[in-house]
């Protein structure tokens, strides 16, 4: 591991709970020598990545990161960060993958990718997705606050016989989504289509959208569901990170324990 790596690792020690840390604490947390750590900190400080408070001598994240973040936000469109992830998702699952963004209470599709392997595949519409009837919508609703959840309950049109068109049915579905960490829609939006979705988070710390795989129901097997869920986890992780967000601990926990329990889907 290079010295630069070691120095940059120190940045990870700063968190919302502990945004300012002194030299000795940093040494303890990093398990490193004091002289070395001091040099690392000095380097980070001289670059503006860290700054030292004059009075307490503690260190905290410096102003330079703001400039870098601004540059990142202006130069890297979200659609582009998502594209390679969707391509991978579609390829390994053999199904259609898409990412949607929660904008003003609506779920709009940001990008999608269709697999090459199958002749019959799910085609993504460009209009807004109904929150109550889709896997993506459920994945998002399961993690928004009560106000937004309630707002979504206003218009619950039944697209098929399977649509969760009542408040009770939707609540059950969301509860399940929170338990497993995935939103699922078994032909609730379109007959013959099963969707599985994971929520996405951005730098605001809130749900920003979802990544989903829409499969042809005839092809679904427990193994495929397990594969899709595993890949969705990975994809949600990657995309959220590239948006400056983090997957909440409750969600990773849900993913951890849920395992491969897609037997009841068939």
Partner DNA sequence: TTTTATCGGTTTATTATATGAACCATCGGT
Partner DNA sequence: ACCGATGGTTCATATAATAAACCGATAAAA
Least Å distance between CB 76 and DNA? Answer: 18
18 binds DNA (CB under 7 A): no
Radius of gyration of the chain from its Cα atoms, rounded to whole angstroms? 22
Instruction: Name which of residues 61 to 120 contact a second copy (CB under 8 A).
Output: 61-76, 81, 84
CA 93, CA 233: separation in Å to the nearest integer? Answer: 13
Q: Does 241 bind a second copy (CB under 8 A)?
A: yes
Buried-state track 26-63, b at ≥16 Cβ within 10 A, e below 16: bbeebebeeeebeebbebbeeeebbebeeeeeebebbe
249 binds a second copy (CB under 8 A): no
Q: Is 20 an interacting residue with respect to a second copy (CB under 8 A)?
A: yes
Stretch that binds a second copy, among 113-121, 125-133, 159-167, 236-244 (CB under 8 A): 236-244
Q: Does 259 bind a second copy (CB under 8 A)?
A: no
Alpha carbon distance 168, 184 (integer Å): 16
Q: Compute the distance between CA of residue 208 and CA of residue 202 in angstroms, rounded to an integer.
A: 6
CA-based angle 80:212:159, to the nearest 5? 125
Among 35, 119, 218, 249, binds DNA (CB under 7 A): 35
* Binding-site member from 52, 185, 215, 237 for DNA (CB under 7 A): 52
Interaction between residue 60 and a second copy (CB under 8 A)? yes
- Interface of this chain with DNA, residues 53 to 82, rule: CB under 7 A: 57-58
Q: Considering the rule CB under 8 A, would residue 153 count as an interface residue with a second copy?
A: no
The site partner of 153 among DNA, a second copy, none (C-beta below 5 to 8 Å per kind) is none
* Nearest CA-CA partner of 64 in 76, 53, 48, 78: 48
What is the DSSP annotation of 28-81? Answer: HHHT--HHHHHHHHHHHHHHTSEEE-TTT--EEE-THHHHHHHHHHHH--HHHH
52 binds, among a second copy, DNA, none (CB under 5 to 8 A by kind): DNA
CA-CA distance, 35 to 3, in Å (whole number)? 13
**The one segment of 119-127, 150-158, 180-188, 235-243 that binds a second copy by CB under 8 A:** 235-243
Which of 8, 14, 30, 36 contacts DNA by CB under 7 A?
36
Establish if 217 lies at the interface with a second copy (CB under 8 A).
no
Number of Cβ atoms within 10 Å of the Cβ of 168:
8
Q: Which residues bind a second copy (CB under 8 A)?
A: 2-5, 7-9, 11, 14-16, 19-20, 39-40, 43-44, 46-49, 51, 54, 60-76, 81, 84, 203, 205, 241-244, 246
Q: Which residues bind DNA (CB under 7 A)?
A: 1-4, 6, 22-25, 32-36, 38-41, 52, 57-58
């Amino acid at each position: 591991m290079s010295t630069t790596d070691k120095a940059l690792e120190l940045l990870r020690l700063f968190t919302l709970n502990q945004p300012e840390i002194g030299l000795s604490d940093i040494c303890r947390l990093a398990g490193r020598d004091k002289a070395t750590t001091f040099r690392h900190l000095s380097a980070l400080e001289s670059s503006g990545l860290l700054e030292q408070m004059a009075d307490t001598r503690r260190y905290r994240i410096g102003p330079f990161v703001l400039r870098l973040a601004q540059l990142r936000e202006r130069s890297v469109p979200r659609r582009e960060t998502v594209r390679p992830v969707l391509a991978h998702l579609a390829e390994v699952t053999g199904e259609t993958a898409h990412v949607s963004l929660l904008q003003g209470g609506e779920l709009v599709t940001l990008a999608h990718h269709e697999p090459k392997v199958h002749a019959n595949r799910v085609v993504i519409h460009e209009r807004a997705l109904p929150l109550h009837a889709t896997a993506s919508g459920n994945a998002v609703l399961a993690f928004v606050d009560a106000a937004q959840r309630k707002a979504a309950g206003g218009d619950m049109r039944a697209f098929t016989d399977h649509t969760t068109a009542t408040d009770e049915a939707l609540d059950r579905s969301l509860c399940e989504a929170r338990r497993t960490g995935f939103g699922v829609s078994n032909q609730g939006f379109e007959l013959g289509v099963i969707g599985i979705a994971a929520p996405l988070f951005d730098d605001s710390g809130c749900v920003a959208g979802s990544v989903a795989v829409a499969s042809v129901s005839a092809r679904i097997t427990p193994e495929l569901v397990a594969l899709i869920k595993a890949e969705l986890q990975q994809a949600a992780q990657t995309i959220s990170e590239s948006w400056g967000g983090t997957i909440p601990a409750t969600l990773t926990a849900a993913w951890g324990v849920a395992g491969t329990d897609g037997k009841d889907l068939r």
